[in-house]
Amino acid sequence: MELGAGAWHAWTVTELEHLVPAWLNLPDVAAALDLPITRVHSLISDKSLVSVRVGERNIRSVPADFLVEGAVLDSLRGTVVVLADSGYGDEDIIRWLYTEDESLPGRPIDALREGRKTEIRRRAQAAAW
């Protein structure tokens, strides 16, 4: 997990698809959040959400874990911004969030969902160096 930005490009999108257990395409995200699709695009643009193209049809999708009870996981944006500002691309950010870290233990996305955002942001800042 101590890899710097861009260090994981050897992974393929297919491997990333399998790393994330459930994906939502953008219309499904809009429905889950009860928002117009244009607002979902804005959430992606402002780094509140991260999307990649997955599946046979190469459809822009978001990991389902990024949504909680009809809202975007509130601790996600800050972590995404830290990683993006350090040069991580969207695929790299998702990979970092879903890769097991023995020192947590578990995955950063699980820790964020458990409310441990300070610890994960500190790790994201360290991973950026």
Residue 59 CA to residue 74 CA, distance in Å, equals 25
Residue 126 CA to residue 61 CA, distance in Å, equals 27
pLDDT at position 9 is 45
User: Which amino acid makes up residue 15?
Assistant: E
Check: CB of residue 21 under 8 Å from CB of residue 60: no
Look at residue 7 and tell me whether its pLDDT is greater than 50.
no
Look at residue 3 and tell me whether its pLDDT is greater than 90.
no
Q: Dig out the tokens for 1 from the structure.
A: 């997990």
User: Which amino acid makes up residue 99?
Assistant: T
Look at residue 4 and tell me whether its pLDDT is greater than 60.
no
Look at residue 2 and tell me whether its pLDDT is greater than 60.
no
State the DSSP string of 35-81: --HHHHHHHHHTTSS--EEETTTTEEEEEGGGEETTEE-TTHHHHHH
Check: CB of residue 111 under 8 Å from CB of residue 72: no
* Model pLDDT for residues 89-129, shown as the tens digit of each residue: 999 999 999 999 888 889 999 999 999 999 999 999 988 66
pLDDT at position 68 is 97
Residue 47 CA to residue 8 CA, distance in Å, equals 20
Neighbours of 98 (CB within 10 A): 17
* Model pLDDT for residues 14-70, shown as the tens digit of each residue: 789 999 999 999 999 999 999 999 999 999 999 999 999 998 889 999 999 999 999
pLDDT at position 31 is 98
pLDDT at position 105 is 85
